[in-house]
């Protein structure tokens, strides 16, 4: 069965960096689009970044230039490199997989595009 396990969350200072990891299993990692989402208390879940099998990426405007999504097919691992952290980046971060499509087919920052989700990892940024 498909399983996604995030790690790397924690506390950071504004202006600092964190790297999140998502280890995937149960499907062919290199053949699917993947994404990162986040949700903070009282807010809807929002798409942060997405990557397809050609390495094409999409970013929310709020993180462009600060966050980078990447993947290591040999390790079945998705990453989110977060730089220049802001207090408003505080949220639970989730990775997700669209195990139907290899290339972007629509708005890959919408959660309905994805079929499986990890349990989330908390990121807290203090100013």
Q: List, for residues 69-89, the tens digit of each pLDDT value.
A: 999 999 999 999 999 999 999
Encoding tokens for residue 10?
A: 């924690």
Q: What share of the chain has pLDDT > 70, as a percent?
A: 100
CB 99 within 8 A of CB 67: no
| pLDDT value at residue 112 | 94
If pLDDT is split at 50, 70 and 90, which confidence band does 17 have?
very high
Sign of CA dihedral 47, 17, 90, 24: positive
If pLDDT is split at 50, 70 and 90, which confidence band does 30 have?
confident
Encoding tokens for residue 123?
A: 């990121």
More confident: 82 or 106: 82
Which of 58, 66, 63, 68 minimizes the C-alpha distance to 108?
58
């Amino acid at each position: 069965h498909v399983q996604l396990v995030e790690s790397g969350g924690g506390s950071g200072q504004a202006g600092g960096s964190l790297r999140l990891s998502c280890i995937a299993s149960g499907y062919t990692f290199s053949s699917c689009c993947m994404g990162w989402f986040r949700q903070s208390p009282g807010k809807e879940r929002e798409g942060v970044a997405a990557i397809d099998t050609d390495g094409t990426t999409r970013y929310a405007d709020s993180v462009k230039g600060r966050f980078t999504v990447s993947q290591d097919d040999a390790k079945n691992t998705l990453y989110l490199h977060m730089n220049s952290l802001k207090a408003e980046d505080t949220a639970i971060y989730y990775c997700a997989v669209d195990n139907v499509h290899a290339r972007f087919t629509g708005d890959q920052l919408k959660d309905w595009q994805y079929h499986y989700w990890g349990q989330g990892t908390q990121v807290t940024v203090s100013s």
